[in-house]
Structure 1
Amino acid sequence: MRAETSVAPALSAVAPARRWARERLVEAGVEPARLEVLVLLVSELVTNAVAHADPPVTLRVDVDDVRTRVEVTDGAREDPVLRNPPPSALGGRGVMFVDRLSSSWGTTPEEGGVAVKAVWFELRHDDVPADLARFAPQA
């Protein structure tokens, strides 16, 4: 399953993007433990794009037999920065969550469109962080 949607360049667009992604992931049959991790990470990528990047912002979800890949494209040339903020910091943890909870992540240049780069992550279907798996709803 592959799907994409445009995201308005405003923080108010994060919740609708998260809901859209959840609906697509449920339709694709993603299991509950992975679903919660994926939705959290979608929220982090979309928040970063609308808060720090330039429009247009597009959210893509691609689920196959092996993994789920999420991409957020935007018009900014700067790559996200992995930070390790102190506990007292109010922000700066989004990329850290993506780094620690996904199977892999990175950025790629976008070719031939208005967007400049895609920030992406993948979560293999056999890879659920143990700390989060215990919080998943039981089937």
Structure 2
Amino acid sequence: MYAETAVSPALSAIAPARHWARARLSEVGIDDGRLDLLVLLVSELVTNAVAHADPPVILRVHVDDQRTRVEVTDGVREVPVVRDPPPTALGGRGVMFVDRLASSWGTSEEEGTAAKAVWFELRHDDVVELGRFSTEQP
């Protein structure tokens, strides 16, 4: 399954993007903790794109037999970095969550109106543990 949608470059677009991703992922049978983890990571990428980048922002979801890949493109070449903010900081943890919870992640340069894509993958054979959620793989 492959799907993409344009995301408005506004913080108010984060929740609709998250709901869109949840619906697409649910359609292909992803559920339980894996779905919640994917939606959390989608939210982090979209938040970074609308808060720190320029349009156009495009959210892409690709699910195959081995993994789920999510990409968010935007119009700024600056790439995100993993930060380790103090516990009292109100933000700055999004990329750290992606780094620690995804199977892999990275950035790539884009052609056309988008400058870069930030992506993550979650392999279907990885064990997912997120708080109270645990999905065991066969």
Q: Shorter chain as normaliser: what TM range?
A: over 0.9
Q: Which runs of 5+ in 1 are unaligned?
A: none
CA distance, structure 2, for counterparts of residue 118 and residue 33 of structure 1: 25
- Which has the larger share of strand? 2
Partner of 2:121: 122
Give the aligned partner of residue 14 of structure 2: 14
Q: Is the 8 A contact 1:33 1:128 kept in 2?
A: no
Stretches (4+) displaced over 4 A: none
- Does 2:96 correspond to 1:96? yes
TM-score (norm 2): 0.94
Deviation at residue 136 of structure 1 after TM alignment: 5.7
Q: Size of the alignment, in residue pairs?
A: 135
What percent of counterpart residues are identical? 76
Distance 2:108 2:71 in 1: 10
**Equivalent AA in structure 2 for residue 98 of structure 1:** V
* TM-score where L is the length of structure 1: 0.93
Query: What's the CA shift for 1:103?
Result: 0.1
The alpha-carbon deviation at position 129 of structure 1 amounts to 3.1
Partner SS, residue 72 of structure 1: strand
Q: Is the 8 A contact 1:36 1:136 kept in 2?
A: no
RMSD of aligned Cα (Å): 1.4
Distance 2:55 2:100 in 1: 27
Cα contact 2:22–2:39 (8 A) shared by 1 = yes
Deviation at 1:133, TM superposition (A): 7.1
Taking the aligned partners of 1:119 and 1:68, their CA distance within structure 2 comes to 14
